[in-house]
Amino acid sequence: MKAILTKKTSLIKEIEGKLNEQIRLEGTSSQYYLSAASWCEKEGYQNSAEFLYTHAEEERMHMMKLIRYVNASGGYAIAPEITDIKTDFHSLREVFELTLEHEIAVSRAINNLVDFCFKAKDFASFQFLQWYVAEQREEEELSRRVIEIFDIIGEEGQGLWMIDQEIANVAGGTGGVIDPPPAV
């Protein structure tokens, strides 16, 4: 009976495979953020660590959302084996520069997946993935903002401490933007 149910799907095998690749990428994102958070905590960057721990959970949620979609569509989502996660960093800036690079790579992967689904006329998957398109836009913007904070504050003297403090503001949703004083 189960074999019959799994054969009754509109999910194209090639799209199922590509969705499983995205599942792996989201899992890798989660593990990268977890590793970077642990390094930050060890180095005393508590706000950065919390920011990254939160993102590790968020990326895991992205992976789980894909897993549930594939399975609900009659496909078979594969829990990814994740290896080769960077565990040591030279600086706090490196952590966030690598984060931005990674988020750009994830955005490209999502865009390619969305394009493939559209061309294959799998509009259900195409529509499902629109959430990821918007989410990736936010992730890239947030990562860019953190790098801007390094450039604005500078890393000399108390700069790294101030950057870590400002990352708490970015994580809190303010984007590090201070409202201008009211017009007089």
What is the tens place of the pLDDT at every residue in 61-117? 999 999 999 999 999 999 999 999 999 999 999 999 999 999 999 999 999 999 999
- Among 147, 140, 50, 57, which residue's Cα sits nearest to residue 96? 147
Tokens (6 digits) for 111: 């865009």
Question: Residue 54 domain-assigned?
Answer: yes
Distance of CA 151 to the CA centre of its chain: 23
Question: Residue 123 domain-assigned?
Answer: yes
Q: Give the separation between CA 86 and CA 97, rounded to whole angstroms.
A: 13
Domain extent at residue 14: 2-171
Q: What is the pLDDT of residue 176?
A: 37
Where residue 83 sits, what CATH number does that domain have? 1.20.1260.10
pLDDT digits (tens, 9 = 90+) for 112-166: 999 999 999 999 999 999 999 999 999 999 999 999 999 999 988 899 999 999 9
Question: Residue 177 domain-assigned?
Answer: no
Q: Give the separation between CA 112 and CA 171, rounded to whole angstroms.
A: 28
Question: Residue 41 domain-assigned?
Answer: yes
- Among 51, 155, 37, 161, which residue's Cα sits nearest to residue 93? 155
Total number of domains in the chain: 1
Question: Residue 103 domain-assigned?
Answer: yes
Question: Residue 16 domain-assigned?
Answer: yes
Question: Residue 176 domain-assigned?
Answer: no
Question: Residue 122 domain-assigned?
Answer: yes
**Predicted TM-score (pTM) above 0.75:** yes
